[in-house]
């Protein structure tokens, strides 16, 4: 076995002051990779936090142009090592090199970095607000310390702690990042961090702008998110580990943004099924099995109304699930978690329609699985029947009528998304109006006539939602510039002399950023 990989602390790639090490697995081969990565000790994490806090003051002086230059240079460097990155990520995650990693996720990642650069440079994200009569001005600015970013297992690039959405948002808002690699793709993360650090150096940013560790135990993770000198945390991953970190951060008064779990209910109304049932079944199969179902926005619950159309839909979906190839899962823990969830759903009263057992594909795999339950049964065990099954599985809930479907919706937990398919005319309008006011409160994003898996990087996106989908219903993890606000503090200036104000609040506005002056948004100078 090779020597453990080095960590990046305070501008130096160095041997970890480790508490131990771990060896990731190759999910396609179901075998260890032979690579070894360190588990960082408490003292190493504290060193990183303190280095980030030291870098924060200096980094603010590079805002926004130096930070924007860095994000763009980093995107270029990722593209320069594209083939290598795709190869490593494919090996570590078994996600398809093409079309997924090379054609979709990597361009999305560099696109996010460039959008973040543009937003930082343009400054309008910071919601500058000026009251000329009162002499009071405010704007969002950096938090004054490092942001810890924990990336999930399912997006080795786009949500990576050292390159993904939280990383881009935190840096663009002017904060150093301490990236915690996901243990399922540490090699991908190391290559990304190498390029990030080269770009940091090339752009003259403080060396501790980007740091990298690979894993910690729970106690050290708690130290990281609750240290007096940490500014905030972004976490995407399992609910159980996320809640451990949340408790520690909350206790210390440190903001923590969590994306925890979501079953993304999809309501399919009868008029839509009569009109285009086969097409919707196809949409469903594609969305549910994409990436072997390992999406935060995977459609995990389909809510139907009892009737012929729904029976036909279930039959069509069953056939499509059986015919579709079975993908490889990210690792053994995903496989065992999926099996456990499918078992739990059955114990709670769900019937197996198809699948239900491990195997059927290459490496770690599980049959494409559909379960079904009546609305009545769902209402008798709503908590158990909302068990997230992370992977290529979905639960069909068949309600007796619209009222019962509304009752089911009333029992939904907080979710990232909720979708409603309805007749293109008005056939389903009454049902829509009954169910959607309830569903709307439960989800961050409401969709019409489409599956939830696509998450466009647009300023209007909300990739968030009520707890337990996330830790706060007011923030989004995707969509620049809104996602940057998570990593800003509201800074107010009361009668502060013009030359001492940040550039974004001075009378003159040479860059033409949008500012709210005396209640009107404008790109003009203060008159």
Task: Kindly identify the residues of this chain, within the stretch 79-108, that bind its own copies according to CB under 8 A.
Answer: none
Binding mask 215-254 for its own copies (x = CB under 8 A): -------------------------------xx--xxxxx
Using CB under 8 A, count the residues that bind its own copies.
73
Pairwise CA distance, residues 315 & 339, whole Å: 23
Residues ≥6 apart with Cβ < 8 Å to 433:
none
CA distances from residue 75 to 68, 114, 171, 231, 234 in whole angstroms, order as listed: 11, 7, 13, 25, 21
Task: Kindly identify the residues of this chain, within the stretch 244-303, that bind its own copies according to CB under 8 A.
Answer: 246-247, 250-255
Terminal-to-terminal C-alpha distance of the chain: 68
Among 143, 192, 212, 405, binds its own copies (CB under 8 A): 143
Q: Which stretch binds its own copies (CB under 8 A): 72-80, 175-183, 338-346, 465-473?
A: 465-473
Pairwise CA distance, residues 188 & 76, whole Å: 16
**Widest Cα–Cα separation across the chain:** 72
What is the rounded (10 degree) CA torsion for 292, 296, 300, 302?
A: -120
Among 441, 503, 506, 526, binds its own copies (CB under 8 A): 441
Residue 368 structure tokens? 């494409």
Of 44, 92, 259, 309, which is the active-site residue?
Answer: 259
- At its nearest, how many Å lie between its own copies and the CB of residue 360? 32
Pairwise CA distance, residues 454 & 139, whole Å: 32
- At its nearest, how many Å lie between its own copies and the CB of residue 270? 18
Among 425, 460, 510, 527, binds its own copies (CB under 8 A): 460
Strand partners, 305: 399
Binding mask 476-495 for its own copies (x = CB under 8 A): x-----x--xx-xxxxxxxx
382 touches its own copies by CB under 8 A: no
Of 63, 203, 288, 296, which is the active-site residue?
Answer: 296
425 touches its own copies by CB under 8 A: no
440 touches its own copies by CB under 8 A: yes
Q: Is 386 helix (H, G, I), strand (E, B) or coil?
A: helix
Task: Kindly identify the residues of this chain, within the stretch 28-57, that bind its own copies according to CB under 8 A.
Answer: 57
- At its nearest, how many Å lie between its own copies and the CB of residue 481? 9
* Known catalytic membership, residue 492: no
Pairwise CA distance, residues 24 & 29, whole Å: 12
Cα-only R_g, the chain: 24
432 touches its own copies by CB under 8 A: yes
Q: Which stretch binds its own copies (CB under 8 A): 84-92, 160-168, 372-380, 452-460?
A: 452-460
Q: Which stretch binds its own copies (CB under 8 A): 25-33, 69-77, 85-93, 512-520?
A: 512-520
Task: Kindly identify the residues of this chain, within the stretch 53-82, that bind its own copies according to CB under 8 A.
Answer: 57, 60
Nearer to its own copies (CB atom), residue 347 or residue 448? 448
Q: Is 394 helix (H, G, I), strand (E, B) or coil?
A: strand
Among 323, 497, 510, 527, binds its own copies (CB under 8 A): 497
Strand partners, 392: none
- At its nearest, how many Å lie between its own copies and the CB of residue 97? 27
The tally of CA atoms less than 13 A away on the side-chain side of residue 252 is 19
Pairwise CA distance, residues 158 & 247, whole Å: 26
- At its nearest, how many Å lie between its own copies and the CB of residue 137? 5
- At its nearest, how many Å lie between its own copies and the CB of residue 332? 30
Nearer to its own copies (CB atom), residue 198 or residue 498? 498
Pairwise CA distance, residues 414 & 445, whole Å: 11
Matching residue, tokens 């599985």: 393
Nearer to its own copies (CB atom), residue 23 or residue 427? 427
The secondary element (H helix, E strand) that includes residue 353 is: strand 351-354
- At its nearest, how many Å lie between its own copies and the CB of residue 283? 13
Nearer to its own copies (CB atom), residue 198 or residue 521? 521
496 touches its own copies by CB under 8 A: yes
503 touches its own copies by CB under 8 A: no
Pairwise CA distance, residues 54 & 69, whole Å: 21
Characterize the bridge pairing of strands 210-213 and 177-180. parallel
- At its nearest, how many Å lie between its own copies and the CB of residue 18? 31
Q: Which stretch binds its own copies (CB under 8 A): 28-36, 133-141, 164-172, 392-400?
A: 133-141
Strands (DSSP E) found in 253-339: 256-259, 266-268, 301-305
* Known catalytic membership, residue 259: yes
- At its nearest, how many Å lie between its own copies and the CB of residue 260? 9
Q: Which residues of 377-397 are buried (b: 16+ CB within 10 A; e: fewer)?
A: bbbebbeebbbbbbbbbbbbb
Task: Answer for the pair 8, 197: CB distance below 8 angstroms, yes or no.
Answer: yes
Q: Which residues are catalytic?
A: 259, 296
């Amino acid at each position: 076995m090779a020597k453990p990989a080095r960590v990046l602390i305070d501008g130096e790639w160095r041997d970890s002051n480790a508490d131990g090490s771990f060896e990731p697995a190759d999910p396609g081969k179901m075998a260890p990779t032979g690579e070894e990565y360190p588990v960082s000790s408490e003292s190493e994490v504290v060193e990183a936090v303190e280095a980030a806090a030291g870098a924060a003051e200096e980094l603010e002086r590079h805002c926004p142009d130096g930070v924007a230059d860095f994000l763009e240079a980093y995107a270029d460097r990722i593209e320069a090592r594209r083939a290598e990155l795709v190869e490593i990520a494919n090996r570590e995650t078994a996600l398809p090199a093409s079309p997924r990693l090379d054609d979709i996720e990597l361009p999305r990642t560099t696109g996010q970095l460039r959008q973040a650069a543009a937003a930082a440079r343009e400054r309008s994200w910071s919601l500058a607000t000026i009251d000329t009569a009162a002499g009071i001005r405010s704007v969002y600015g950096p938090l004054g310390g490092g942001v810890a970013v924990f990336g999930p297992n399912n997006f080795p690039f786009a949500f990576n702690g050292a390159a993904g959405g939280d990383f881009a948002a935190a840096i663009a808002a002017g904060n150093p990042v301490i990236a915690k690699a996901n243990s399922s793709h540490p090699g991908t993360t190391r290559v990304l961090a190498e390029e990030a650090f080269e770009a940091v150096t090339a752009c003259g940013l403080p060396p501790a702008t980007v740091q990298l560790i690979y894993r910690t135990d729970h106690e050290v993770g708690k130290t990281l998110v609750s240290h007096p000198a940490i500014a905030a945390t972004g976490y995407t991953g399992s609910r159980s580990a996320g809640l451990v970190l949340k408790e520690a951060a909350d206790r210390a008064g440190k903001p923590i943004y969590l994306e925890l779990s979501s079953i993304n209910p999809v309501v399919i109304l009868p008029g839509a099924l009569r009109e285009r049932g086969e097409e919707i079944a196809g949409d469903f199969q594609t969305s549910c099995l994409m990436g072997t179902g390992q999406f935060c926005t995977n459609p995990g619950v389909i809510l139907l109304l009892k009737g012929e159309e729904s029976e036909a839909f279930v039959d069509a979906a069953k056939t499509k699930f059986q015919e579709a190839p079975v993908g490889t899962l990210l690792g053994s823990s995903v496989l065992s978690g999926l099996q456990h969830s499918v078992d739990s759903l059955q114990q709670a009263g769900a019937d197996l329609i198809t699948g239900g057992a491990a195997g059927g594909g290459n490496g770690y795999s599980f049959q494409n699985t559909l379960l079904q339950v009546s609305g009545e049964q769902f209402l008798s065990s709503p908590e158990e029947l909302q068990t997230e099954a992370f992977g290529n599985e979905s639960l069909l809930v068949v309600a007796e009528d619209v009222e019962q479907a509304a009752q089911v919706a009333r029992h939904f937990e907080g979710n990232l998304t909720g979708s409603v398919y309805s007749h293109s005319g008005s056939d389903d309008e009454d049902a829509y109006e009954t169910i959607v006011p309830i569903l709307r409160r439960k989800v961050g994003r409401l969709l019409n006539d489409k599956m939830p898996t696509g998450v466009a990087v647009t300023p209007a996106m909300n990739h968030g939602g009520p707890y337990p989908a996330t830790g706060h219903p007011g923030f989004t993890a995707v969509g620049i510039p809104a996602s940057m606000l998570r990593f800003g503090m509201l800074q107010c200036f009361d009668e502060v002399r013009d030359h001492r104000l940040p550039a974004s609040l001075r009378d003159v506005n040479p860059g033409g950023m949008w500012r709210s002056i005396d209640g009107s948004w404008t790109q003009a100078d203060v008159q």
